[in-house]
Amino acid sequence: MVQLNIKTMNREELKQMWFNSPTSNVVTRTIKLELDTYKDRVGQGTVQITSDGPGGFRQFTTHQEFPFTYIKESKEYKSGNYELLIKLTNGTIV
């Protein structure tokens, strides 16, 4: 018969384990465009720029009348390090 020695962790130990766990070096950078579905806002959309990695998490969201122009002129898009995601009106992400 095998006995398992299971120790329950208290809240402080769990918190320390969570904050001391190694973080991955994976960096996620995305630019997401969601076009408006309102009839008075045809061509307008919400742009969300997200960066997540060892340096921290950063997210910026803005509504633009000309979202494609805004994205094309942004420093994040020009850097070439960001993935562009476009959410269509039917919910499909391209």
**Digit-coded pLDDT (tens) for 33-70:** 999 888 888 889 999 999 988 778 899 999 999 999 99
Both tokens of residue 35? 């076009």
For residues 47 and 70, is the Cβ–Cβ distance under 8 A? yes
Residue 81 is assigned to a structural domain of this protein? yes
Residue 31 is assigned to a structural domain of this protein? yes
Q: What is the pLDDT of residue 20?
A: 77
Both tokens of residue 48? 């969300």
For residues 71 and 84, is the Cβ–Cβ distance under 8 A? yes
The mean per-residue pLDDT over the stretch 4-13 comes to 76
Residue 9 is assigned to a structural domain of this protein? no
Residue 20 is assigned to a structural domain of this protein? no
Percent of the chain with pLDDT over 90: 46
Q: What is the pLDDT of residue 4?
A: 61
For residues 77 and 71, is the Cβ–Cβ distance under 8 A? yes
Domains contained in the chain, number: 1
Residue 38 is assigned to a structural domain of this protein? yes
List strands edge to edge, sheet with 83-87. 56-64, 45-53, 28-35, 83-87
Alpha-carbon gap, residue 93 to 32, rounded angstroms: 9
Residue 77 is assigned to a structural domain of this protein? yes
Residue 55 is assigned to a structural domain of this protein? yes
Residue 16 is assigned to a structural domain of this protein? no
> What is the extent of the structural domain holding 49?
26-87
Residue 14 confidence class, pLDDT cut points 50, 70, 90: confident
Alpha-carbon gap, residue 93 to 83, rounded angstroms: 12
